[in-house]
């Protein structure tokens, strides 16, 4: 090889290396030393308890990973912004995150807000990990949206099926807040009941979202002689409804799909949980979550464990993507997590694929006792 050819070959080789490095660093939110992940959640609004718990737990896991050296030599920079449980503010919050060049986002179960950013998520191909159980995030599969929790429709199907197998109740009432989340809860309850033709009677009553003016809805369902009330709402109204009903001398079985810590103020309410028992420290991930939460002085709860798991999923996707991470490699890494053990037992394993972005279809039940959620043994298999 002549000297000129050798020089040319060296230049070509160097160009390939430089191009490769530039390509890696050109990926949004990825630098040589860090990857930026973002979250929009309620930090000081009506659902601030769950928002702080979810994002705080996620941050504790990312901090834990960073202390161990990060992922492929990069630390995770986790940006948490505030949407105050307002759909328009969620859009503004997400746009701020986009302005800070996040690689991926998520860590919210605010259906109305997430629905508003979904078109942008699809257009910009933003990975979104950890969303609500609303059907628009599951069917059809959104290429960049992944979730651990079973969707709301399947949760309510499990609730209705369990009411049939574990109780003698046949009259189901739905008290719901007047928004998309609330109305969908009613729709899914009716669909679930229809799978048992002629068995259930379903009635409903609504109230204004975030309002405490719930007496009319309670009285409506009482007149319908509902035996089970499914609460399709979030935040403080849950406890208010239960307390007002009992004060009025009416005490049906109350059930909710809401994982909001505010439910702990509603004694006797049965909750459909989407993660395993937070007290089962025989599960390695539960033990780690509790240990980090206690170390940081954070409140322990089901919403916290879910946020923790969401951070674990992001981390596993990044590990699979390798050092030369891109969004495509990250998404492919997530889809490769089949029957993946997260340290949560068999029912807590992840099963993603190109046609399924719902990590698990498991439902767990708790009941509020003395202000804390405990296993609802009456509904255990």
**Encoding tokens for residue 56?**
């705080």
Q: Are residues 160 and 182 in the same domain?
A: yes
Helix (H, G, I), strand (E, B) or coil at 157: helix
Label residue 58 exposed, middle or buried (CB < 10 Å: 0-12, 13-18, 19+): buried
Secondary structure E strands in the chain = 34-41, 75-82, 105-106, 128-129, 145-146, 171-177, 201-207, 228-232, 253-256, 270-273, 364-369, 372-375
Q: What's the confidence (pLDDT) of residue 18?
A: 41
Last residue of a domain, one of 257, 273, 289: 273
What was the pLDDT predicted at 82?
A: 98
Q: Which two tokens stand for residue 255?
A: 């059930």
pTM reported for the whole predicted model: 0.88
Same domain membership, residue 119 and residue 178: no
Q: Does 377 reside within a domain?
A: no
Structural contact between residues 30 and 69, judged by C-beta atoms closer than 8 angstroms? no
For 213-250, the pLDDT digits (tens) are 999 999 999 999 999 999 999 888 999 999 999 999 99
**Helix axes of 87-99 and 111-124: crossing angle, nearest 10 degrees:** 30
Q: Using the CB atoms, write b or e for 329-344: b if 16+ within 10 Å.
A: bbbebbbebeeeebeb
255 and 301 part of one domain: no
CA distance 281 to 292: 13
Strands (E), 67-108: 75-82, 105-106
Angle at 305 between CA 109 and CA 128, to 5 degrees: 40
- Domain count within the chain: 2
Assess if residue 345 is contained within a domain.
yes
User: 229 and 198 in one domain?
Assistant: yes
Residue 236 lies in a domain: yes
> Is 295 part of a structural domain of the chain?
yes
Going from the first residue of the chain to its last (381 residues), give the mean pLDDT of each consecutive group of 10, the final group possibly shorter: 48 44 68 98 94 98 98 98 97 98 97 95 97 92 97 96 97 95 94 98 95 95 98 92 96 92 92 95 98 96 97 98 98 97 95 97 95 92 70
CATH number of the domain bearing residue 46: 3.40.50.2300
pLDDT tens digits for 87-105?
A: 999 999 999 999 999 999 9
Clarify whether residues 70 and 110 are in a common domain: yes
Pair 92, 38 in one domain: yes
Q: Are residues 234 and 187 in the same domain?
A: yes
CA distance 89 to 208: 20
Cα 257 from Cα 17, distance rounded (Å): 52
One domain for residues 160 and 249 = yes
Computed on alpha carbons and rounded to an integer, the radius of gyration of the chain in Å comes to: 23
In a domain? residue 4: no
328 in any annotated domain:
yes
- Do 38 and 145 share a domain, yes or no? yes
Residues 241, 329, single domain; the answer is no
> Based on the domain organization, do 265 and 296 belong to the same domain?
no
Closest alpha carbon to 336 in 349, 351, 358, 324: 351
Domain that holds residue 129: 34-150+280-363
Are 186 and 294 in a shared domain? no
């Amino acid at each position: 090889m002549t000297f000129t050819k050798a020089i040319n070959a060296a230049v070509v080789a160097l160009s390939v290396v430089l191009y490769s490095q530039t390509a890696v660093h050109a990926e949004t939110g990825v630098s040589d030393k860090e990857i930026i992940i973002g979250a929009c959640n309620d930090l000081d609004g009506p659902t601030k308890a769950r928002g702080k718990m979810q994002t705080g737990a996620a941050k504790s896991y990312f901090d834990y990973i960073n202390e161990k050296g990060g992922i492929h030599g990069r630390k995770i920079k986790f940006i948490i912004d505030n949407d105050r449980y307002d759909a328009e503010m969620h859009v503004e919050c997400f746009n701020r995150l986009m302005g800070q060049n996040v690689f991926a986002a998520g860590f919210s179960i605010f259906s109305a807000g997430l629905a508003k950013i979904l078109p942008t998520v699809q257009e910009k191909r933003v990975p979104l990990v950890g969303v609500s159980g609303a059907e628009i995030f599951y069917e059809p599969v959104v290429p960049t949206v992944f979730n651990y929790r079973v969707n709301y429709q399947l949760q309510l199907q499990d609730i209705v099926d369990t009411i049939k197998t574990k109780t003698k109740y046949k009259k189901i009432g739905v008290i719901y807040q007047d928004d998309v989340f609330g109305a969908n809860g009613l729709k899914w309850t009716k669909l679930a009941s229809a799978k048992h033709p002629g068995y259930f009677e379903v009635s409903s009553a609504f109230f204004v979202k975030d309002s405490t003016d719930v007496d009319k809805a309670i009285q409506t369902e009482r007149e319908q002689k509902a035996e089970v009330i499914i609460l399709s709402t979030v935040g403080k109204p849950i406890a208010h409804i239960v307390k007002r009903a009992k004060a009025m001398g009416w005490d049906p079985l109350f059930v909710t799909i809401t994982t909001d810590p505010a439910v702990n103020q509603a004694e006797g309410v049965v909750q459909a949980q989407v993660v395993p028992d937070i007290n089962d420290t025989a599960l390695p991930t539960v033990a780690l979550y509790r240990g980090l939460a206690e170390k940081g002085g954070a409140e322990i709860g089901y919403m916290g464990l879910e946020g923790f798991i969401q951070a674990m999923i992001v981390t596993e996707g990044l590990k699979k993507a390798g050092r030369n991470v891109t969004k495509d490699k990250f998404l492919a890494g997530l889809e490769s997590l089949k029957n993946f053990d997260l340290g949560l037992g068999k029912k807590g394993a992840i099963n993603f694929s190109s046609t399924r972005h719902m990590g698990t279809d498991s439902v767990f039940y708790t009941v509020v006792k003395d202000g804390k959620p405990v296993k609802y043994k009456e509904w255990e298999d």
